[in-house]
Amino acid sequence: MKALIFDKQGTENLRVGDVEKPDPKDGEVLVKVAMAGVNPIDNMVINAIPGIKPMPHIAGAEFAGIIEEVGPSGKSAKKGDRVAIFNRYFDGTCDMCAKGMEMLCRNGYITGVMSNGGFAEYIAVNERNAIKIPDATSWEMAASLPVAALTPYHAVNRADLRKGETAVILGASGNTGRFALQFAKEKGARVIAVSRKQSMAEFGADDTVSSENALEKVKEITKGRMADFVLNSLGEKFWNESFLMMGSNSRLATFGTLTGPQVSLDLSGVYSKHATIMGSTGGSMREFRELASKSPDYKLKVWKKFKLEEGQAAIKALSSSDRDGRVMLQIS
């Protein structure tokens, strides 16, 4: 089969090569990959994260496709099923898994990071990770559920965002941002998008403000009460502003460091606001199933689709100043 592989890290080393088609083992299914999302995880795997295994390596942390073969002792999966893939291996036996927090499995890892991923014509995955999607769900949406959608879905759920509260979403026009707007609106919140785009109303924003004057605008919109929930997926550059946007008894969630990981923190502000600062990563199997079932109701913007042999261009496109929407790899 064809796969986008690299023998040595660096975007310039990506190439399409012939590799052995996987044979599904007991409890696995063979998926013919239709579409893969390209995101910062893949860029880091290809360029930065040390100790990637195996080598040569196939990246691709989020993808979807059609089940072509069910391995021995298959239980519920059927050949021909359209599926999105929960991209974290989990053993199902550790204390985190027992709590329904499979993304924190003691023995887990992300597909495409410490195992080969979905930038290939076929991949074998655990049957329980392959979740059937509605017929109305596009391949682009299905391939965005594992990372771009699930990550903010879990963050919004963890913050227990409620009807009538105010949510501020930084990086609102990014991969996770557009989904975060929709999830916050779904909870009944008043949603403020921080974006360089003129308006994010299509994705659920009640107000859109630019990053240059976001703090002042949030203060104006909320009449000084500030936000009940702030989502900062960007990291260092906007940390101080996001913290100052928090009101009394508010929550701030973070799951990204695109602009850097190092921040300073005013502890007096934390306790005087009775604030909660939470890290968030991935999401649970229960949440992934929920997302898959509701996926036809959500919106997605795709900027460009590339073929497998255009893998280098796809990775480079992530950092394009013109990018407005998702970068995808159309594989079959």
The tens digit of pLDDT for each residue in 173-187 reads 999 999 999 999 999
Confidence of residue 160 (pLDDT cuts 50, 70, 90): very high
Calculate what percentage of the chain has a pLDDT beyond 70.
100
Average pLDDT over residues 120-132: 97
- Given a contact cutoff of 8 angstroms between Cβ atoms, the answer to whether 249 and 166 are in contact is no
Q: State mean pLDDT over 193-202.
A: 91
Rounded Cα gap, residues 228 and 248, in angstroms:
7
Say whether pLDDT at 262 is over 90.
no
pLDDT of residue 198: 81
Residue 185 forms part of a structural domain: yes
**What domain range includes position 115?**
2-144+300-330
Structure confidence at residue 331 as a pLDDT band (50, 70, 90): very high
- Specify if 225 maps to a domain: yes
Q: What is the pLDDT of residue 127?
A: 96
Q: Give one DSSP letter per residue of 10-60, joined into a string.
A: SGGG-EEEE-PPP---TTEEEEEEEEEEE-HHHHHHHHT-TT-SSSSEE--
**What pLDDT digit, counting tens, does each position of 56-109 carry?**
999 999 999 999 999 987 788 999 999 999 999 999 999 999 999 999 999 999
Beta strands in the chain (DSSP E): 2-6, 15-18, 28-38, 57-58, 62-70, 82-85, 88-89, 109-110, 122-126, 130-132, 166-170, 190-194, 207-209, 227-232, 246-254, 276-279, 302-307, 326-330
pLDDT of residue 51 exceeding 80, the answer is yes
How large is the average pLDDT for residues 200-209? 96
> Binning pLDDT at 50, 70 and 90, where does residue 196 land?
confident
**Is the per-residue pLDDT at 258 higher than 80?**
no
- Say whether both 132 and 155 belong to one domain: no
Closest CA to 199 of 173, 234, 229: 173
- Shared domain for 136 and 7, answered yes or no, is yes
Residue in the block written with tokens 């089940």: 67
Determine the 3-state secondary structure of 229 from DSSP.
strand
In this structure, the answer to whether residues 110 and 16 fall within a common structural domain is yes
Q: Are 65 and 117 found together in one domain?
A: yes
Q: For residues 134 and 152, what is the distance between their CA atoms, to the nearest angstrom?
A: 21
**Structural domain count of the chain:** 2
Among 73-77, 157-161, 207-211, 300-304, which stretch is predicted with the lowest mean pLDDT?
A: 73-77
Same domain? For 34 and 153 the reply is no
Tell me if 251 is assigned to some domain. yes
CA distance linking residue 144 with residue 301, whole number of Å: 10
Assign residue 260 a region: left if phi > 0, alpha if psi is -120 to 50, beta otherwise?
left
**Chain centre to alpha carbon of residue 331:** 20
Write the CA distances from 185 to 51, 87, 256, integer angstroms. Answer: 40, 26, 21
Instruction: Tell me, yes or no, whether 259 and 210 share the same domain.
Output: yes
Q: Are residues 136 and 168 in the same domain?
A: no
Q: Select from 126, 108, 124 the least CA-distant residue to 116.
A: 124
Q: Average pLDDT of 103-125?
A: 97
Q: How far apart are the first and last CA of the chain?
A: 12
Binned at pLDDT 50, 70 and 90, residue 152 comes out as: very high
pLDDT for residue 259 is more than 80: no
Q: Please give the radius of gyration of the chain, using alpha carbons only, rounded to the nearest integer.
A: 20
Query: Which helix (H) or strand (E) element contains residue 316?
Result: helix 311-317
What's the pLDDT at 228? 98
User: Is 288 a member of any domain?
Assistant: no
What pLDDT is attached to residue 332?
Answer: 87
Q: Are residues 259 and 155 in the same domain?
A: yes
- The verdict on residue 123 lying in a domain is yes
Does any domain span residue 289?
no
Q: What is the mean pLDDT of the chain?
A: 95
- pLDDT for residue 260 is more than 90: no
**81-95, 152-166, 207-221, 263-277: least confidently modelled range:** 263-277
Please determine, for residue 131, whether its predicted confidence score (pLDDT) is greater than 90.
Answer: yes
The band of 200, judged by pLDDT with boundaries at 50, 70 and 90, is very high
284 is a domain residue: no
Q: Which residues contact 96 (CB under 8 A, 6 or more apart)?
A: 102, 104, 105, 106
CA distance 93 to 294: 28
Residue 27 — very low, low, confident or very high, per pLDDT cuts 50/70/90?
very high
- Same domain, yes or no, for 140 and 157? no
The DSSP call for residue 120 is B
CATH code for the domain in which residue 207 is found? 3.90.180.10
| pLDDT for position 139 | 98
Classify residue 290: in a domain, yes or no: no
Q: 150-158 and 285-294 are packed helices; what angle lies between their axes, rounded to 10 degrees?
A: 110
